[in-house]
Chains A and B, each alone.
Chain A
Amino acid sequence: MAASAAVRSSMGLTLRLSRVIPVCSTCPLYRLNICGNSAASLQRRGSFDSIRTINRHLQTSIGLYQIEEGSSNAEDPDDYVVNIVYIDRSGQRIPVKAKVGDNVLYLAHKHGIDLEGACEASLACSTCQVYVSDAHFDKLPEPVEREDDMLDMAPMLQENSRLGCQIILTPELDGMELTLPKVTRNFYVDGHVPKPH
Chain B
Amino acid sequence: IWCLLCCSSVIISVYSAGVIVRGSGKAFFASCNPKICVVGSGPAGFYTAQHLIKDAEVDIYERLPVPFGLVRFGVAPDHPEVKNVINTFTQTAKQSRCSFYGNVNVGKDVSIEELQQAYHAVVLSYGAEGNRTMGVPGEQLAGVYSAQNFVGWYNGLPSCQELNPDLSCETAVILGQGNVALDIARILLSPVDILKKTDITQPTLEALERSQIRNVLIIGRRGPLQIACTIKELREMVNLPDTRPEMVAADFNGVAEALKDVPRPRKRLTELMLKTALDTPGEKEQERRNKASRSWGFRFFRSPVEVLGDPDSMRVVGIRLAVNRLEGEGEGARAVLTGEVEDVKCGLVISSIGYKSVPIDPSVPFDSRKAIVPNNMGRVQHVSGLYCSGWLKTGPTGVIATTMNNSFDTARSLVEDIDSGTLDVSISKPGSQSISALLEKRGVKPVSFSDWEKIDNAEMKKGEASGKPREKLLSVEEMLRVVQT
Chain A residues within 8 Å of B, Cβ to Cβ = 116-120, 122-127, 129, 146, 148-150, 152-155, 157, 183-197
Distance of B200 from chain A, by nearest CB (Å): 18
Binary CB contact string for chain B from 365 to 390 against chain A (1 if under 8 A, 0 otherwise): 00000101000010000000000000
Cβ-defined contact, B399 with A197, below 8 A: yes
Task: Give 5 nearest A-B pairs by CB, closest first.
Answer: A152-B265, A124-B81, A122-B81, A118-B85, A196-B230
> In this complex, what residue of B is CB-closest to A189?
B395
Q: How far is the CA of A125 from the CA of B228 in the complex (A)?
A: 17
- List 19 additional A-B contacts (Cβ < 8 Å) besides A118-B401, A152-B268: A118-B82, A118-B88, A118-B404, A120-B84, A123-B81, A126-B399, A127-B400, A148-B268, A152-B265, A183-B409, A189-B394, A191-B397, A192-B331, A194-B331, A195-B399, A196-B178, A196-B397, A196-B398, A196-B399
Binary CB contact string for chain B from 169 to 180 against chain A (1 if under 8 A, 0 otherwise): 000000000111
27 pairs of residues in contact across A and B, judged by CB atoms under 8 Å: A116-B404, A120-B81, A125-B400, A127-B401, A146-B232, A149-B231, A149-B232, A152-B264, A152-B265, A152-B268, A153-B230, A153-B399, A155-B402, A183-B409, A186-B377, A187-B406, A189-B370, A193-B331, A194-B331, A195-B397, A195-B402, A196-B178, A196-B229, A196-B398, A197-B178, A197-B396, A197-B399
**Which B residues between 275 and 294 are near A, CB-CB below 8 angstroms?**
none
Cβ-defined contact, A157 with B264, below 8 A: yes
Kindly state whether residue B26 has any CB partner on chain A within 8 Å.
no
**Which B residues between 68 and 103 are near A, CB-CB below 8 angstroms?**
79, 81-82, 84-85, 87-88
Cβ-defined contact, A119 with B230, below 8 A: no
Kindly state whether residue B190 has any CB partner on chain A within 8 Å.
no
> In this complex, what residue of B is CB-closest to A196?
B230
Cβ-defined contact, B393 with A187, below 8 A: yes
Give the A-B pair count, Cβ closer than 8 A: 107
Instruction: Bin chain B's interface residue count.
Output: 35 or more
Which residues of chain B are within 8 angstroms of A155 by Cβ–Cβ distance? 401-402, 405
Cβ-defined contact, A183 with B408, below 8 A: yes
Cβ-defined contact, B401 with A197, below 8 A: no
Distance of A64 from chain B, by nearest CB (Å): 33
Question: With A120-B87, A183-B408 known to touch, is A197 a contact of B179 (CB < 8 Å)?
Answer: yes
Instruction: Name the contact of B397 in the complex, choosing from A116, A123, A149, A197 (C-beta under 8 A).
Output: A197
Question: With A197-B180, A197-B398 known to touch, is A183 a contact of B405 (CB < 8 Å)?
Answer: yes
Distance of B89 from chain A, by nearest CB (Å): 9
Instruction: Name the contact of B230 in the complex, choosing from A117, A123, A129, A149 (C-beta under 8 A).
Output: A149
Q: How far is the CA of A176 from the CA of B42 in the complex (A)?
A: 36
Distance of A158 from chain B, by nearest CB (Å): 10
Kindly state whether residue B210 has any CB partner on chain A within 8 Å.
no
Which residues of chain B are within 8 angstroms of A148 by Cβ–Cβ distance? 268
Q: How far is the CA of A71 from the CA of B400 in the complex (A)?
A: 42
Which residues of chain B are within 8 angstroms of A192 by Cβ–Cβ distance? 331-332
Cβ-defined contact, A149 with B264, below 8 A: no
Which residues of chain A are within 8 angstroms of B85 by Cβ–Cβ distance? 118-119, 125
Distance of B233 from chain A, by nearest CB (Å): 8
> In this complex, what residue of B is CB-closest to A159?
B264
Cβ-defined contact, B331 with A187, below 8 A: no
Distance of A163 from chain B, by nearest CB (Å): 11
Q: How far is the CA of A118 from the CA of B50 in the complex (A)?
A: 13
Which residues of chain A are within 8 angstroms of B408 by Cβ–Cβ distance? 183
Which residues of chain A are within 8 angstroms of B235 by Cβ–Cβ distance? 149
Q: How far is the CA of A188 from the CA of B88 in the complex (A)?
A: 28
Q: How far is the CA of A148 from the CA of B230 in the complex (A)?
A: 12
Cβ-defined contact, A190 with B397, below 8 A: no
Which residues of chain B are within 8 angstroms of A123 by Cβ–Cβ distance? 81
Distance of B51 from chain A, by nearest CB (Å): 9
Residue of A124, A146, A185, A188 most packed against chain B (CB within 10 A): A124
Q: How far is the CA of A150 from the CA of B84 in the complex (A)?
A: 15
Q: How far is the CA of A196 from the CA of B332 in the complex (A)?
A: 16
Distance of B34 from chain A, by nearest CB (Å): 21
Cβ-defined contact, B230 with A152, below 8 A: yes
Q: How far is the CA of A148 from the CA of B399 in the complex (A)?
A: 16
Q: How far is the CA of A187 from the CA of B407 in the complex (A)?
A: 12
Q: How far is the CA of A123 from the CA of B231 in the complex (A)?
A: 13
Kindly state whether residue B269 has any CB partner on chain A within 8 Å.
yes
Q: How far is the CA of A197 from the CA of B412 in the complex (A)?
A: 24
Q: How far is the CA of A184 from the CA of B398 in the complex (A)?
A: 14
Distance of B228 from chain A, by nearest CB (Å): 6
Q: How far is the CA of A85 from the CA of B397 in the complex (A)?
A: 34
Which residues of chain B are within 8 angstroms of A186 by Cβ–Cβ distance? 377
> In this complex, what residue of B is CB-closest to A117?
B88
Which residues of chain A are within 8 angstroms of B370 by Cβ–Cβ distance? 189-190
Distance of A169 from chain B, by nearest CB (Å): 23
Instruction: Name the contact of B401 in the complex, choosing from A126, A149, A187 (C-beta under 8 A).
Output: A126
Which residues of chain A are within 8 angstroms of B268 by Cβ–Cβ distance? 148-149, 152
Cβ-defined contact, A119 with B397, below 8 A: no
Cβ-defined contact, B397 with A127, below 8 A: no
Instruction: Name the contact of B404 in the complex, choosing from A122, A127, A153 (C-beta under 8 A).
Output: A127
Question: With A120-B87, A124-B79, A124-B81 known to touch, is A157 a contact of B265 (CB < 8 Å)?
Answer: yes
Distance of B45 from chain A, by nearest CB (Å): 15
Cβ-defined contact, B84 with A118, below 8 A: yes
Cβ-defined contact, B395 with A153, below 8 A: no
Distance of A104 from chain B, by nearest CB (Å): 17
Distance of B375 from chain A, by nearest CB (Å): 10
Cβ-defined contact, B405 with A125, below 8 A: no
Distance of B359 from chain A, by nearest CB (Å): 16
> In this complex, what residue of B is CB-closest to A148?
B268
Instruction: Name the contact of B398 in the complex, choosing from A118, A149, A195 (C-beta under 8 A).
Output: A195
Which residues of chain B are within 8 angstroms of A190 by Cβ–Cβ distance? 370
Q: How far is the CA of A187 from the CA of B390 in the complex (A)?
A: 11
> In this complex, what residue of B is CB-closest to A154?
B401
Residue of B396, B400, B412 most packed against chain A (CB within 10 A): B400
Distance of B250 from chain A, by nearest CB (Å): 25
Q: How far is the CA of A5 from the CA of B399 in the complex (A)?
A: 56
Q: How far is the CA of A148 from the CA of B377 in the complex (A)?
A: 30
Cβ-defined contact, B397 with A194, below 8 A: yes
Cβ-defined contact, A119 with B81, below 8 A: yes
Q: How far is the CA of A152 from the CA of B268 in the complex (A)?
A: 9
Instruction: Name the contact of A125 in the complex, choosing from B180, B231, B397, B399 (C-beta under 8 A).
Output: B399
